[in-house]
Amino acid sequence: MKLLKHPVVTRILRVVGPRMVRIYLQLVGRTQRLRVEGRDYLPEVRRGGGPFLFAFWHSRLLFPAYLYRGTQTGVLVSPSRDGEYIALTMNQFGMVALRGSSAKHPALGLLKLVRHLKDGYCVAVTPDGPRGPKEQVQMGVVELSKISGIPVIPCAYAPSRRITLNSWDRFIIPLPFSTGAVIYREPISVPQNASGDQMEEIRRLLEEEIQAATHCAEELVRHEGI
């Protein structure tokens, strides 16, 4: 472990690591048979005059980096050293890493996301991240939707072949030559005059909808694994 913290090793990892992730996800993306459901919900948000605000579980954030490549989609990334690797990886895919902490300085991170949406770009959030509880929506994404006026699209991704890490969120690494499923659910709007009780109700609804999207994605690929 000390070797990984050596300055020379750290610099090498900063250069090589994100590129290796890009190459690997390109292999996954190009060999994967992708099924998408709910695509019709995306124009509905467009007709509202705004960009997209996607919400999916933290365990499934790896492949969306490839899925939304080249779109300038914004993602809130921790200012920590681990966050630096994630930011560099996002940059490899033409996404925008907005550096900020949802724990230490939540207002600053929220402001960066709002500005990115106001500039006309998409934002992707993992509402149970960065540390859990697993698959429980935190209030931040509801506040983001309320302030920005952009509805939240609950969505999910599932691969038929995967490696599941022994982490708090059971992080998923998709494998090449598999079937993948992406599910979009109906956008959820948060009124800008929503009360605390209304926001809690919307939070619970969003959690249920992401769970439903995840269940649907898993069902679609259940019998495709090897």
Q: What is the per-residue pLDDT for 132?
A: 86
Q: What is the per-residue pLDDT for 223?
A: 76
Q: What is the per-residue pLDDT for 97?
A: 92
Q: What is the per-residue pLDDT for 102?
A: 66
Q: What percent of the chain has pLDDT over 70?
A: 87
Q: What is the per-residue pLDDT for 2?
A: 45
Confidence check: pLDDT of 127 > 50: yes
| C-alpha neighbours within 13 Å on the C-beta side of residue 202 | 24
pTM comes to 0.89
Beta carbons of 63 and 159 less than 8 angstroms apart = yes
Under DSSP, the state recorded for 126 is -
Helix (H, G, I), strand (E, B) or coil at 145: helix
Between 4 and 171, residue with greater pLDDT? 171
Confidence check: pLDDT of 139 > 50: yes
- CA distance to 40, 50, 56, 114, 212, per residue, from 179 (Å): 21, 31, 19, 34, 19
Query: For domain 3-221, is the CATH number 3.40.1130?
Result: yes
pLDDT band at 202 (very low <50, low <70, confident <90, very high): very high
Mean pLDDT throughout 104-110? 80
